[in-house]
Amino acid sequence: MNIVLGVTGSISAYKAAEIANQLTKDGHDVHVVMTEGAAEFITPLTLQTLTKNKVHMGEFDEFDPSVVKHIDLAEKADLVLIAPATGNIIGKIASGIADDLLSAVAMAAAIQAPIYIAPAMNTNMYLNPIVQGNIEKLRSLGYFIIDPKESSHLACGTTGPGALEDVEKIVRTVELAGGVAGL
């Protein structure tokens, strides 16, 4: 499968390296799109080394004038996985906002590729009724949500829901989805 892996600015961003590595080892072509916030937690070089593909960040970093990057990435994607997904990116996608590369790719891919979103954030943020409403809206529109762990000790010291689901479960979910879809 040709997978676009979106990585956002969560402490769980380091787990994106494990996800990218496993998907690549399993034979998938993984193209990473990072937000600026994600680059504060993990370097693009790490993900580039693991996937053997250029990591995309800037919406206007067009290196090939014959290609519009966000459209090209979206059209080539068999599946989009955003892991970890912050409340910010979830809100953008649910509201139809495409003001960075990742949200633009998600908007452009939504018609032709399944989009899987794995939230990761503080318990209070995750349980916020606005975030929950955005998640339910996305579900109702056909997006697939890989729910966070029901309860975990989070980096902020809180215990509760919000921690990124286990890497193995995320990878298995995505690969099963590709198998079911015949990708």
d(CA 134, CA 132): 5
d(CA 89, CA 120): 11
Query: Count of CB atoms within 10 A of residue 133's CB?
Result: 12
**Is the bond leading into 84 cis (omega within 30 degrees of zero)?**
yes
The edge-to-edge listing of strands for the beta sheet with 29-34 is 29-34, 2-7, 79-85, 115-119, 144-145
Q: Which residues are catalytic?
A: 156
Q: What are phi and psi of 7, to 5 degrees?
A: -125, 125
Q: DSSP character for 15?
A: H
Residue 152: strand, helix, or coil: strand
CA distances from 83 to 68, 100, 117, 141, 151 (A): 24, 16, 6, 19, 18
